[in-house]
């Protein structure tokens, strides 16, 4: 129960952070990506703010043998920079640049009752389903 | 530069960092949103509830700020729906193939000093910049 409470609270803080930093405004994201035009470095400052906290905190947290309320840390095991990683990240970047949304702001944007967020969430899930169909071996 | 908002960006970023640290410290989980979204349908059954709660939290957090400061964010209007639909689909496909998005690779991965995540982050930012350049400056799809 308490792990669920922390999860919900963590989601709330994450969503509030995305909204406070205006990252749920897709034009703000597109302006960051528009280096030769209306460049707005705000997204870079979001990353700096997030990484300043997370880098220091993760260093301390990951020295522990286990998380406080759970058996073990569940960290990504992959470390290789393989063609799949670069190809996938490039595809994602193209979709990000076309729409102005990555997954977090797509979901958080639902709080604005934004029609765009509904389209994004449905489109992202259709991408998930197609990828699973094509790549997952039974 | 247009509408640069360094203070709200830093403060919002710090909240994102705190949220990610909380989830890791208490529950041992990485706050990678594409992975969390995907697992709502594709993770083992007993591993789905927390994902829905986290996603509900994202919406609640956005709503909370909007309730505290009405009009703080305004939904965009009039953007081509096909760019959203195709873009969203590519976001879904790309984040599955690369195992992560801006939160998973860009924040949590870089915070763990994962070279793989740094490579992914540089790649999607570069691809995003190139795409915006094509859409805004070489075509007339958007203003």
**Each residue of B81-109: pLDDT tens digit?**
999 999 999 999 999 999 999 999 999 99
Task: Report d(CA A25, CA A126) in Å as an integer.
Answer: 23
Q: Name, in order, each residue with C-beta under 8 angstroms of A137's C-beta and a sequence gap of 6 or more.
A: none
Q: Closest approach of chain B CAs to the CA of A11, in angstroms? A: 4
Domain end marker among B74, B91, B117: B74
Average pLDDT over residues A13-19: 98
Task: Report d(CA A36, CA A33) in Å as an integer.
Answer: 9
Q: Does A36 touch chain B (CB under 8 A)?
A: yes
Please give the C-alpha separations between residue B22 and each of A15, A16, A82, B28, B122, in angstroms, as whole numbers: 14, 15, 30, 9, 26
Quick one: pLDDT at residue B140?
72
Q: What residues of chain A lie within 8 A of the CB of B94, using their CB?
A: 88-95, 127
How many domains does one find in chain B?
Answer: 2
Question: B67 and B1, same structural domain?
Answer: yes
Q: Closest approach of chain B CAs to the CA of A133, in angstroms? A: 11
Domain end marker among B74, B99, B126: B74
Residue in chain B lying closest to A29 (CA): B128
With H, G, I as helix, E, B as strand and everything else as coil, classify residue B48.
coil
Question: B118 and B97, same structural domain?
Answer: yes
Residue A28 has pLDDT above 70, yes or no: yes
Question: B89 and B40, same structural domain?
Answer: no
Question: B110 and B52, same structural domain?
Answer: no
Quick one: pLDDT at residue A24?
98
Residue A9 has pLDDT above 90, yes or no: yes
Task: Report d(CA A15, CA A24) in Å as an integer.
Answer: 9
Q: Does A63 touch chain B (CB under 8 A)?
A: no
CB distance B17–A53 less than 8 Å? yes
The crossing angle, in degrees rounded to 10, of helices B6-22 and A2-20 is 170
> What percentage of chain B exceeds 90 in pLDDT?
93
Question: B23 and B51, same structural domain?
Answer: yes
Mean pLDDT over each residue of chain B, to the nearest integer: 96
Question: B66 and B1, same structural domain?
Answer: yes
CB distance B42–A128 less than 8 Å? yes
Question: B110 and B70, same structural domain?
Answer: no
The model's pLDDT over A83-130, given as tens digits with 9 standing for 90+, comes to: 999 999 999 999 999 999 999 999 999 999 999 999 999 999 999 999
Q: Does A62 touch chain B (CB under 8 A)?
A: yes
Question: B106 and B49, same structural domain?
Answer: no
Question: B127 and B63, same structural domain?
Answer: no
Domain end marker among B43, B74, B105: B74
Quick one: pLDDT at residue A5?
97
**Which residue from A34, A79, A114 is facing B116, i.e. has the nearest CB?**
A79
The model's pLDDT over A38-82, given as tens digits with 9 standing for 90+, comes to: 899 999 999 999 999 999 999 999 999 999 999 999 999 999 999
Question: B57 and B9, same structural domain?
Answer: yes
The model's pLDDT over B59-75, given as tens digits with 9 standing for 90+, comes to: 999 999 999 999 999 99
Domain that holds residue B53: 1-74
Question: B56 and B109, same structural domain?
Answer: no
The model's pLDDT over B26-35, given as tens digits with 9 standing for 90+, comes to: 999 999 999 9
Confidence class of residue B1 from pLDDT cuts 50, 70 and 90?
low
Average pLDDT over residues B14-36: 98
**∠ CA A116-A119-A121, rounded to 5°:** 105
Quick one: pLDDT at residue B142?
72
Question: B109 and B55, same structural domain?
Answer: no
Quick one: pLDDT at residue A1?
86
Cβ of B3: how many Cβ atoms within 10 Å? 12
Residue B14 has pLDDT above 80, yes or no: yes
CB distance B129–A103 less than 8 Å? no
Q: What residues of chain A lie within 8 A of the CB of B115, using their CB?
A: 79, 81
Give contacts of A 68-127 with B, CB under 8 A: 68-76, 78-81, 84-104, 106-117, 119-127
């Amino acid at each position: 129960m308490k792990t669920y409470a922390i999860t919900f609270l963590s989601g709330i803080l994450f969503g509030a952070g995305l909204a406070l930093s205006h990252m749920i405004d897709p034009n703000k994201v597109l302006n960051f990506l528009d280096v030769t035009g209306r460049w707005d470095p705000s997204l870079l400052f979001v990353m700096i703010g997030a990484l300043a906290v997370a880098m220091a905190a993760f260093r301390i947290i990951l020295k522990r043998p286990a998380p406080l309320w759970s058996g073990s840390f569940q960290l990504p095991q992959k470390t290789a920079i393989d063609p799949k990683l670069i190809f996938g990240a490039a595809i994602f970047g193209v979709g990000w640049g076309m729409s102005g949304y990555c997954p977090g702001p797509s979901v958080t944007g639902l709080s604005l009752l934004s029609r765009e967020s509904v389209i994004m969430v449905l489109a992202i899930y259709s991408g998930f389903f197609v990828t699973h169909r094509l790549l997952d071996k039974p | 530069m247009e509408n640069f908002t360094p203070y709200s960006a830093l403060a919002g970023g710090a909240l994102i960092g705190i949220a990610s640290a909380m989830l890791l410290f208490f529950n041992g989980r990485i706050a990678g949103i594409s992975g969390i979204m995907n697992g709502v349908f594709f993770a083992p059954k007993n591993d789905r509830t927390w994902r829905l709660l986290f996603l509900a939290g994202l919406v609640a957090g956005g709503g909370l700020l909007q309730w505290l400061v009405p009009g703080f964010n305004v939904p965009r209007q009039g953007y081509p729906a096909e760019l959203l639909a195709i873009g969203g689909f590519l976001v879904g496909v790309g984040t599955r193939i690369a195992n992560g998005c801006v939160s998973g690779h860009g924040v949590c991965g870089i915070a763990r000093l994962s070279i793989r995540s740094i490579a992914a982050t540089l790649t999607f930012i570069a691809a995003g910049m190139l795409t915006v350049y094509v859409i805004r400056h070489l075509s007339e799809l958007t203003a």
